[in-house]
Amino acid sequence: MSKEVTHNGLARSVSIKSEKEYNDFYENAPDMFVSVCAKTGSILKCNRTTATTLEYKKSEILGRQIFDLYTPESGEYARNVVFPLFLKKGYIDRAELEIQKKDGRTINVLLKASSVRDADGNIIESRSVWRDITQQKRAEEALQKTLAHLENMVDVRTVELKRANERLTQKIDESRKIAEELKKSEIRYRTVADFTFDWETWMDPEGNFVYVSPSCERISGYCPNEFIRDPDLLIKITHPDDRNLVEDHFKSGEAHKSLMDPIDFRITNRKGELVWISHACRMVHDSENNYLGRRGSNRDITVTKAYQIELEKYAETQSILLKKINHRVNNTMASILSLMELQMEEVEDEMAKKTLRDSHSLVRKICLIDETLSHFDDLKVIHMKTFLSKIGSTALQGYSTGNDVKLQIEAENVMIGFKQASPVGLIVNELIVSCLEYAFPDDRKGEIILRLKSNKENEIELSVSDNGIGLPERFDLQYTDNPGFKLVRMLAENQLNGSIDMDSENGTKFTVKFNIET
């Protein structure tokens, strides 16, 4: 009788321990777990990760309609499409939705759901998993913007570069299709441990694996028991160049008992192949905040890395082609300048000579801007503070008046594309030369201030001002015959799709506003 009581007590102790470990696993999982009533759509249960991620208390979530946690658009889609499909099939393999946090901010999630049925086979409850894919979405959007930006740069160049861009676009489309096929071919993960697609782990405070998901064998070639028997196996199969990174990552986490930054590293699988791993982990605590170890997630990103490297090669190729075309254009411009100079020597008509001189001056300015831009290593984006400093200094040195005129440049760290940088450079050069030519007669001292700042998300304000004598009262920028001012207005309104204003109080100030092309 005593042995039976002891046996039953031991069984209950094991059961309680297992239940506690399961609850700790459930509450601290990296993903958000939610149980929903199939009849009412109300939330019956959620884990701590759900409340923490959405910045609610659990009591604020339980009992609410599941659709209220989504954004209005996602809530409508979930109510009218996803939920009916779940009731029909009994599961949801994959659905991308948006959830609102308590403060109104949104996150992107990947939904997967399975059903709980009663004795008659009726669906009474859903077991749902939300995985936060916000960073992945942002990375995809950033990638799309980068690709679009690269294609726009190619469009402003010659037919030769356009053909190169078409070939590049074709390769990018092929790569995008490869990425889409990869996404479609991924194994759909289940809601709990053994059915996760990624390689999931739980390591105790002593550094021993408590749990390793079966997906580890698909990624590394080693089965879960091999990692459990040898906790150092992960370090052993890590590429020698990445081993210190992985060891420092785990040591840092153990020292601070906190969430650690994700890392990417390489392992050598059982077949001897190199595999890229994206690793993220977090500390696990029980309800009394006792440290239970670390939950980790490892994802195979080998194909993604190859895709990323290929895109970087495409970008580098485009930059090289752009510089080659720019060099050819500059050579052509130099030839045009030489022909103009010969023509000016032969033409006797003063009006014709003036026209040639004006044209010659404009071509020289364009060459100056292109020459300045060609010195930037990356033509996709131009650092405007550096660019304007070079343009301003060159304009000041190239127009010697004998006056003591200072140039002050106040520019924010704004980055714009090559397509917009060229007309901005021409505008700045023309306005500075105009200040030097008209604002300071009779060796008058003065100052020219060049400012560039970002007013709103994408709006740029560029201004050139002086403290000189100002322009005549009847001067009208819209109707002036001055070729320099006409060029400035044309560039601001037509090339930059912006506006230009003039203020003649206390000297002269020209202000150009335009939006950065994205």
d(CA 186, CA 198): 10
Residue that terminates a domain, selected from 87, 112, 132: 132
The CATH number assigned to the domain holding 433 equals 3.30.565.10
- Domain boundaries, position 320: 140-166+310-376
CA dihedral 315, 316, 318, 324 (to 10 degrees): 160
The predicted structure's pLDDT at residue 127: 93
pLDDT in tens, 281-329: 888 888 888 888 888 899 999 888 888 888 777 766 666 665 565 555 5
For residue 285, being part of any structural domain is answered with: yes
Judgement on whether residues 123 and 202 belong to the same structural domain of the protein: no
> Which CA distances in Å does 367 have to 326, 426, 429?
10, 10, 12
Q: Are residues 425 and 509 in the same domain?
A: yes
**Predicted pLDDT of residue 315:** 61
Cβ atoms of 413 and 452 closer than 8 Å:
no
Note whether 370 and 385 are same-domain residues: no
The CB-based long-range contact list for 137-143 (8 Å cut-off, 24+ gap) reads 137/108, 143/311
- Domain shared by 321 and 392, yes or no: no
Whether the Cβ atoms of residue 489 and residue 499 lie closer than 8 Å to each other: no
Residue 67 to residue 80: CA distance in whole angstroms: 10
| β-sheet bridge partners, residue 409 | 450
Prediction pTM value: 0.39
Q: Are residues 384 and 483 in the same domain?
A: yes
Q: What is the pLDDT of residue 433?
A: 84
Q: Based on the number of CB atoms within 10 Å of its own CB, is 173 exposed (0-12), middle (13-18) or buried (19 or more)?
A: exposed
pLDDT in tens, 73-101: 999 999 999 999 999 999 999 999 999 99
Residue 436 lies in a domain: yes
- Helix or strand (DSSP H, E) at 476: none
Give the tens place of pLDDT for each residue, 205-244. 888 888 998 988 999 999 999 999 998 999 999 999 999 9
pLDDT score for 86 = 92
Which of 300, 322, 339 terminates a domain? The answer is: 300
452 plus 362 within the same structural domain:
no
Closest CA to 235 of 254, 217, 248: 248
- What CATH code is carried by the domain that includes residue 86? 3.30.450.20
**Tens digits of pLDDT across the chain (518 residues):** 444 444 455 445 555 677 888 888 899 999 999 999 999 999 999 999 999 999 999 999 999 999 999 999 999 999 999 999 999 999 999 999 999 999 999 999 999 999 999 999 999 999 999 999 999 888 888 888 888 888 887 677 778 778 887 887 887 877 677 767 766 554 443 455 567 788 998 988 888 888 998 988 999 999 999 999 998 999 999 999 999 998 888 777 555 555 568 899 999 999 999 999 999 888 888 888 888 888 889 999 988 888 888 877 776 666 666 556 555 555 565 556 565 555 666 666 666 655 656 555 556 666 666 666 565 656 567 788 888 888 888 877 766 555 678 889 898 888 888 788 888 888 888 888 888 888 888 778 889 999 999 887 789 899 999 988 888 777 878 877 787 888 888 888 998 899 999 888 888 999 999 998 87
Distance in angstroms (rounded) separating the CA atoms of residues 273 and 271: 6
Provide the number of structural domains found in the chain: 4
Last residue of a domain, one of 274, 300, 326: 300
* 250 plus 333 within the same structural domain: no
